[in-house]
Amino acid sequence: MNKSNFLHLAFKYLIIVVGSAVYATGFSFFLYPNSIVTGGVTGIAMIINYLTSLPVGVLTIIMNVPLFIMALRKLGLRFCIGSLVGMILASVFVDIFTSLRINATSNMLLASLYGGLIEGAGLGLVYRVGASTGGSDIASKLLRAKYPYINLGTIILLVDMVVVIAFAVIFKRFDSVMYSIIAMFVSTRVVDFVLYGVSTSKLCFIITDSSDEVKKAITTTLNRGATLLHGEGAYSGASKEVILCAVKKQQVVELRRLVRSIDENAFIIYTTAQEVFGEGFQDIMDNS
């Protein structure tokens, strides 16, 4: 292994350590002391912990063992190693932090908001380097491999909701369900922010009779590339060239004005592109 690869690997695992610690902070100091249950395996561990006083982290590791055995065959060694490290570290940090018996706030709303925010930031860091903290992430990927027509986000949501509702029924804490939903929503949004940032790009489809002028204006004025797709009008049967281009969100208005100045009858479709790799956008070699 050369020095560059070693440094990259070391940085990856440093991020996993930091992300796991941040995740455990949100869970141990905000959610756990206020009985705001999380979803997945950690949520199940919380339920067992409240019934038996067994450590959440230890229970989490034990329940993850069969998941990782199955994942090793289905998802590959590289993903499993990073995720195994993340899962063990997160579980160890959870047990260490919860043993301190620190409750950052007794206000349930603040606990769900800030707990979800901090927990989501930690998860986002771990996800960003291609790992996970195990649990429902692994289970969802395994289910997705077997049932590819089911959305991954839907699987995770269903698993989490079953755990949360079970907690409410067992302990008669129905208010916890509402605060848990808030925490999960905030956590999900923060994970997206850490992974993708705030400035999503836009994918544009432009249908115009002046495609030569428009594509030239895009490349020279906006300094963006464009691709021509060959289409045909469904009603007229006339041949059309559809211009496909990706632009920064702040360039959308300028692009619309540019196209309108050339062809007032042009048809423009915008759609959000969560990530764009290539010149002028993210580095295509970025492994995050």
> Which burial class, exposed, middle or buried, applies to 44 when counting CB atoms under 10 A from its CB (0-12, 13-18, 19+)?
buried
Whether residues 251 and 136 fall in one domain: no
Residue 37 falls inside a structural domain: yes
- Same domain, yes or no, for 178 and 87? yes
CA 199 to the chain's CA centroid:
15
pLDDT score at 45: 93
Give the pLDDT confidence score for residue 118 in this predicted structure. 96
Q: Work out whether the CA dihedral 33, 35, 36, 37 comes out positive or negative.
A: positive
User: For 226-234, which contacts have Cβ atoms below 8 Å and span 24 or more sequence positions?
Assistant: 229/205, 231/207
Among 146, 164, 196, give the residue marking a domain's end.
Answer: 196
Is residue 205 a part of any domain in this protein?
yes
- Domain range for 16 is 3-196
Task: Please report the pLDDT score of residue 151 as a whole number.
Answer: 56
Q: Domain check: are 211 and 144 in the same one?
A: no
pTM of this prediction exceeds 0.85: no
Q: 48 and 170, same structural domain?
A: yes
Where does a domain end: 196, 228, 258? 196
Residues of the chain with pLDDT under 50: 287-288
Is-contact 212 219, C-beta < 8 A? no
Whose tokens are 């997945």? That residue is 40
**Structure confidence at residue 148 (pLDDT):** 64
CATH code assigned at 265: 3.30.70.120
Q: Residue 228 — left, alpha, or beta (φ > 0 → left; ψ -120 to 50 → alpha)?
A: beta
My answer on whether 217 and 167 are in the same domain is no
Closest CA to 104 of 94, 112, 95, 96: 112
Q: List, for residues 234-254, the tens digit of each pLDDT value.
A: 777 777 888 888 887 777 888
> Within a domain: residue 284?
no
Last residue of a domain, one of 196, 220, 237: 196
Q: Does residue 27 fall inside a structural domain?
A: yes
- pLDDT tens track for 94-112: 999 999 999 999 999 999 9
Do residue 118 and residue 44 come from a single domain?
yes
Give pLDDT, residue 280: 55
pLDDT of residue 222: 81
The count of domains in the chain is 2
